[in-house]
Amino acid sequence: MSDATSDSPQGQSRRARPHKPAAVTPTPSGGGTPAASACSDTAPPDALLRQVAALPNLPGVYRYFDGDDLLLYVGKANSLKKRVSSYFQKTHDGTRIGHMVSKIVRLETTVVRSEAEALLLENNLIKALNPRYNILFRDDKSYPYLKISALVSASRQGADGPGQSGAADPGQFPRVSYYRGAVEKKHQYFGPYPSAFAVKEAIVLMQKVFRLRTCEDAVFKHRTRPCLLFQIKRCSGPCVGLISTCDYRAQLADAEKFLNGDSMSLVQDLEQRMMAHSERLEFEMAAELRNQISALNAVLHQQSVDTVHDRDVDILAVKFTGGRACVNLAMVRGGRHLGDRAYFPSHVDEEIQSELNTSLSESATRPSLESVILEAFLSQHYLQVPMPPSLVVSAPVRQGLLDALQEQTGVKVLAVHQPREQRRVWLDMAMTNAQIQLNRLLAEEGSQIARTRALVDALDLAHDRLEALRVECFDVSHTGGESTQASCVVYQNHKMQAGEYRRYTIEGITPGDDYAAMRQVLMRRYGKLLALGQDAKPEAQKTLAMPDLVLIDGGKGQISIAREVFESLGLDISRLVGVEKGEGRRVGLEELVFADEREKVYLGKDSAALMLVAQIRDEAHRFAITGMRAARARVRTGASKLEDIAGVGPKRRAKLLQRFGGLRGVAMASVEDLAKVEGISVELAQEIYRTLR
């Protein structure tokens, strides 16, 4: 079979997919036009109806596009003909689905061999393309792991030479570290963990109980005396030869046994070793093991949900309230409960719920809303995350989905819907946490809606739809004129839209001239908007839409500059509002300054409108200062020197900096030392040496 193809960019996945459909049903390129879209409020285009009538009674995936060729919806069906036809045979007046159907001018279909294959392809497309009308579980961050670096074989020991202290090669003493990203087979990874905090907590445990090192190799090789971690008994001091490789590896083996869930057998082994030392009158060694056992028992006592029967389990609980849903994922790894993470799907409302209930099951028995949400989560979540063999779920899931997941991951999956004993405890905890997280979200959203309404009322903005109110805020940051950066953050739909944030590197001005920096960023931002105009693509129009309100972090000086820019561009200056710091620059005393010469407004420190203004202003400041610090660090460390060397990309640059402890260490290294770094040839090492010297 071959991968699914499409005639349009929107129909192509942006990542490789493991699912391969059997055949593709192409659609004519003349299936619809923007003009057809404009007049399709009551009836779809004739060409589209002819395409629907010609669909086969086979399983597959369908995709709807609007007149701008943007993807609206991805669905799967046991029978493409029956499922797609139902959209155009039923009345959807007044619903969100009806609004979507009125926009459809073109469809694409992919025929597959089975319902399971259709399900996997559907969710690959949903995850990759983010259709507007699908339930989406968006989580751009990968899961963190606890990493134990690879042990260098004895034949390679000393290949890099000893450090300044004469200690053994760091490769002989594997390091414990926090890791997020693609895994390498040569290292060991434990997890994934639900949060960075859970990983760091596990690392502290590795330090306290097993005294494994956490320092980088470059630091290890250049130590001449034990560090503070050794002094507080959180490291065994391998960098200066205070522990043998044999003893360190024994500690490492114990740590791996603990992380793999063999806690009880580990405690028993330690007890036996403690008694053996005691019988030989080696009381100091026996005391060390006694302390280690006590620390382990304390950890195991804290893990009230610890069990020896379930090693790797995911517990998934769904709650739905007030039009919003929460999926709480709790993770058990190695028999230990590592914590949980809450997910809030977008595009869940009454109309879409009804639609998905129909589309996910064409039988007489339809799944519950919780099952629909849970199945959508399972299908999307495990595309990129390792699948455990056991799932404990709060709502039933179909066996077809589990079979599809098994085909995708190669792991036989068992899902338990009504668990007992310890699993029941886990699920009850997850259900409670899901409800707590959902209540928190609803409270925050309610608060944000109230703040948006208060801002509209306070500034007398003419806006009927609060969720459509768009606010952009600008700030400038630098250190004594160095590495000046400007930021633009966006607030819409009652929340910050991080995907639409932009940073601007300010150049060609007098260092420290905030007015010139503000003039430049506003001209670049809105000058570009006017230059593109209506010729911009729909995606660009979204990010370049003229805001209803423009906030400037500053007082009369900054707002006067902004007024000059807006007047030169022919823009409405009534949109401009400056946020002037109050007396003593204290929070809550800010005043609003207007470009159209209205009187200053003090909203009051308890004003919901001021809280929203401060929230947006603070986010602009955070975003600007983060970019400024990164730019300053690049200048001060000279990292750009490495970037300018042909053949030294991000991965090689990272390996060089890690190996030698920074750019200064790289610059001082010999050609021979540089060539020992993985991926650095002798010729490239010579080029690096010449460039940095």
Residue 271 pLDDT grade (very low, low, confident, very high; cuts 50, 70, 90): confident
Residue reference for tokens 């609004």: 99
Q: Which residue has the tokens 């739905």?
A: 320
Which of 53-57, 404-408, 458-462, 557-561 is modeled with the greatest confidence? 557-561
Mean pLDDT of the 39-45 span:
56
Going by C-beta distance under 8 Å and a sequence separation of 6 or more, which residues neighbour residue 499?
A: none
**What CATH number is attached to the domain comprising 30?**
3.40.1440.10
Average pLDDT value for residue range 238-242: 88
Residue 18 above 70 pLDDT?
no
What mean pLDDT is predicted for residues 564-577? Answer: 91
Are 631 and 649 found together in one domain? no
Does residue 625 share a domain with residue 642?
A: no
pLDDT for 33 beyond 60: no
In a domain, 15, yes or no: yes
**Total structural domains in the chain?**
5
- The verdict on 676 and 597 lying in the same domain is no
pLDDT, position 351:
42
Residues 486 and 627 in one domain: yes
Mean pLDDT value of segment 267-287: 75
Strands (E), 116-244: 144-148, 176-180, 188-190
366 and 472, same domain (yes or no):
no
Summarize pLDDT for 143-170 with one digit per residue, the tens. Answer: 788 888 887 765 444 434 333 444 467 8
Which pLDDT value is given to residue 394?
Answer: 92
CB-hemisphere CA count at 13 Å for 28? 14
Residue 136 lies in a domain: no
Q: Which residue has the higher pLDDT, 675 or 444?
A: 675
Q: Is residue 530 part of a domain?
A: yes
Average pLDDT over residues 403-432: 85
Report residue 317's pLDDT band, with 50, 70 and 90 as the boundaries. Answer: very high
Residue 135 lies in a domain: no
Same domain, 44 and 163: no
Instruction: Please report whether residue 139 resides in a domain.
Output: no
Residue after which a domain boundary falls, among 394, 420, 439: 439
Do 340 and 411 belong together in one domain?
yes
In terms of pLDDT, which residue wins out, 577 or 145?
Answer: 577
Q: Return the pLDDT at 560.
A: 93
Q: What percent of the chain has pLDDT over 70?
A: 77
Q: Helices 369-381 and 115-129: crossing angle, nearest 10°?
A: 70
Asked if residue 526 and residue 426 are part of one domain, the reply reads no
pLDDT recorded at residue 473: 95
Q: Which of the four pLDDT bands, split at 50, 70 and 90, describes residue 255?
A: confident
pLDDT at 343: 86
**Domain edge (last residue) among 95, 129, 163:** 129
Least confident of 341-355, 428-442, 556-570: 341-355
Residue 3 lies inside a defined structural domain of this protein:
no
Q: List the domain range (segments joined by +) for residue 93.
A: 9-129
Residues 65, 66, 69, 73: what is their CA dihedral angle, to the nearest 10 degrees?
Answer: -30
Q: The domain spanning residue 644 has which CATH number?
A: 1.10.150.20
Contact 549, 492 (CB under 8 A): no
139/450 Cα distance (integer angstroms):
27
Q: Is the pLDDT of residue 549 over 50?
A: yes
Residues 292 and 421 in one domain: no
Count of H-run helices and E-run strands, the chain: 24, 19
Per-residue pLDDT tens over the stretch 191-219: 777 778 778 878 887 887 788 898 888 88
**Residue 532 pLDDT:** 66
- Nearest residue to 370 via CA among 412, 337, 326, 334: 326
Residue 664 CB: number of other CB atoms within 10 A?
12
Same domain, 584 and 644: no
DSSP type of residue 73? E
* pLDDT value at 48 more than 60: yes
Question: Between helices 556-569 and 514-532, what is the axis angle to 10°?
Answer: 30
Model pLDDT for residues 330-352, shown as the tens digit of each residue? 888 777 777 788 888 877 654 45
The answer as to whether 353 is a domain residue is yes
Distance CA 250, CA 238 (A): 13
Same domain, 482 and 617: yes
Q: Which of 58-72, 300-314, 489-503, 595-609 has the lowest mean pLDDT?
A: 300-314
State the residue for tokens 């869930």. 261
Which of the four pLDDT bands, split at 50, 70 and 90, describes residue 543? low
C-alpha–C-alpha distance, residues 11 and 474, integer Å:
36
Share of the chain above pLDDT 90, in %: 9
81 contact partners, CB below 8 Å, separation of at least 6: 52, 55, 56, 57
pLDDT in tens, 80-113: 888 888 888 766 665 667 778 888 888 888 888 8
Asked if residue 451 is part of any domain, the answer here is no
Please tell me whether residues 626 and 645 are part of one structural domain. no
Looking at 620, 635, 650, the residue that finishes a domain is: 635
pTM of this prediction?
Answer: 0.56
Query: What number is the average pLDDT over the span 509-525?
Result: 90
- Tally of CB atoms within 10 A around 327: 27
Query: Which CATH number belongs to the domain containing residue 563 in this structure?
Result: 3.30.420.340
pLDDT digits (tens, 9 = 90+) for 530-542: 776 545 555 555 5
